[in-house]
Copies of this chain bind each other. A is one copy, B any other.
């Protein structure tokens, strides 16, 4: 009788583990660290339920990969070398890659990487390959070249395209979990789709993964869900405003830190754990000591910093006082210097209190054969076995093909929108500023 460990999961109901190596990987400090890294970073400032961690997402990706593999092994086990069906010996490398694919993420990854020039995918591979980690030790127990194989899947250089596509493609275990999970925790119900249905229609072929014809509607629903999650959650203006705030406060902290260092002053305001990061020379062990709580505790302290800009940005971040924003386009972008001047006049350092941010997504670029390799397209398998690209069959997806969604925004302090600042000597500045805005968009003042 097979041994089984069941973890209760609110999104996928239950996560089943049958392999000791998976249990051992979960138990490593490197994997447990993901409990302390939020999946969506600052998004919980807008969607207050979205406090979920990369730990739960990683388990989810594992579980979806496990369900897909069970389906493939049951219905499409390979018989010959050339039948293009599923090789059950790929099971463990698939499951391990699914579980570990996000291992290298730092706290508030996107901001973090931008400021400190790190790369979470490179870290993921390093954690898997470095002989100093427990992850590596556990993987090596499978086979001496097993860490290398798992790292190849992450790097998309693994020879079996089915394994790679299940972890990374237009419709893979990673995306399916994060869309469902983020929808569940944000409460954005538009993000739901029928996971079980999609899994049931997965059909392997020599070049990768296709989907049975009859699953088309479930995939259409997935595509629309993805669109809705991007437009409503990932591109939410307030979330981006908090992101900007975090980015600017880290930039400021870095600038203060470097300035102190140059002047030989004490850098006591910087917690020990973050020091190597700000010094720009960080080991893997040191990297793995950093998580959301270390970052937040630092920002917590910085509220009392001598540097008034750092202290103010830290307070705005922790007390959730986001920057405000308006939509800009190619034409109106030329008006931004005037807006920045008004923000400056109102007493704000525009380097830290304003920003431009473009968030666009071309969700169906995969269907454009000119731009992408054919194997990353979503392929439907017809009754006679032929493959056909999704948008050739789905009128709904065809309608969305090649269309860009999203917007560009200009961010500025909420003070600029004050309504009745009569006693305020900045009142005329604010009034000037507000003439540039209508229906949430930047306009030429009348």
Chain A 26-53, CB-CB to B under 8 Å as 1, else 0, gives: 0111001101100000001101110111
Contacts of A386 in B (CB 8 A): 439
Task: Give the docked Cα–Cα distance between A395 and B346 (Å).
Answer: 37
Do B300 and A32 touch (CB < 8 A)? Answer: no
Q: Which of A1-36 contact B (CB under 8 A)?
A: 1-2, 4, 6-11, 13-14, 27-29, 32-33, 35-36
Q: Is A224 an interface residue (CB 8 A)?
A: yes
CB closest residue in chain B, given A44: B35
Contacts of A272 in B (CB 8 A): 301
Contacts of A382 in B (CB 8 A): 439
Query: Chain B interface: which of A288-296, A348-356, A367-375?
Result: A288-296
Chain A 274-305, CB-CB to B under 8 Å as 1, else 0, gives: 00000000000000010111111110110000
With A48-B53, A440-B383: A32-B1 Cβ-Cβ less than 8 Å:
no
Task: Give the docked Cα–Cα distance between A297 and B290 (Å).
Answer: 9
Task: Give the docked Cα–Cα distance between A189 and B221 (Å).
Answer: 10
How many A residues have CB within 8 A of the partner chain?
85
Do A187 and B10 touch (CB < 8 A)? Answer: yes
Give A271 Cβ to nearest chain B Cβ, in Å. 7
Give A416 Cβ to nearest chain B Cβ, in Å. 17
Give A390 Cβ to nearest chain B Cβ, in Å. 15
Give A27 Cβ to nearest chain B Cβ, in Å. 8
Do A300 and B296 touch (CB < 8 A)? Answer: no
Residue picked from A29, A76, A187, A383, most chain B C-beta under 10 Å: A187
Query: Chain B interface: which of A93-101, A163-171, A226-234, A248-256?
Result: A226-234
Q: Is A392 an interface residue (CB 8 A)?
A: no
Do A10 and B185 touch (CB < 8 A)? Answer: yes
Task: Give the docked Cα–Cα distance between A382 and B187 (Å).
Answer: 24
CB closest residue in chain B, given A15: B48
Interface SS of A by simple majority? helix
Task: Give the docked Cα–Cα distance between A51 and B52 (Å).
Answer: 6
Query: Chain B interface: which of A138-146, A396-404, A425-433?
Result: A396-404
Do B220 and A228 touch (CB < 8 A)? Answer: yes
Contacts of A273 in B (CB 8 A): 297, 300-301
With A224-B224, A228-B221: A56-B52 Cβ-Cβ less than 8 Å:
no
With A52-B49, A297-B297, A395-B403: A320-B8 Cβ-Cβ less than 8 Å:
no
Give A40 Cβ to nearest chain B Cβ, in Å. 11
Do B293 and A9 touch (CB < 8 A)? Answer: no
Task: Give the docked Cα–Cα distance between A51 and B439 (Å).
Answer: 37
With A48-B59, A51-B52, A403-B395: A1-B188 Cβ-Cβ less than 8 Å:
no
CB closest residue in chain B, given A364: B399
Query: Chain B interface: which of A110-118, A192-200, A259-267?
Result: A192-200
Do A49 and B11 touch (CB < 8 A)? Answer: yes
With A7-B48, A51-B52: A76-B194 Cβ-Cβ less than 8 Å:
no
CB closest residue in chain B, given A29: B319
Q: Is A55 an interface residue (CB 8 A)?
A: yes
Contacts of A405 in B (CB 8 A): 395
Q: Is A384 an interface residue (CB 8 A)?
A: yes
Do A187 and B8 touch (CB < 8 A)? Answer: yes
Do B396 and A13 touch (CB < 8 A)? Answer: no
Chain A 359-392, CB-CB to B under 8 Å as 1, else 0, gives: 0000000000000000000000011101000000
Contact of A190 among B7, B187, B221, B289 (CB under 8 A): B221
Contacts of A228 in B (CB 8 A): 217, 220-221
Task: Give the docked Cα–Cα distance between A125 and B35 (Å).
Answer: 33
Contacts of A158 in B (CB 8 A): none
Do B189 and A194 touch (CB < 8 A)? Answer: yes
Q: Is A307 an interface residue (CB 8 A)?
A: no
Do A187 and B224 touch (CB < 8 A)? Answer: no
Contact of A48 among B27, B35, B295 (CB under 8 A): B35
Contact of A196 among B14, B190, B321 (CB under 8 A): B14
Contacts of A218 in B (CB 8 A): 190
Chain A 67-108, CB-CB to B under 8 Å as 1, else 0, gives: 000000011100000000000000000000000000000000
Give the 3 A-B residue pairs with the shortest CB-CB distance, closest first. Answer: A10-B187, A297-B297, A293-B296
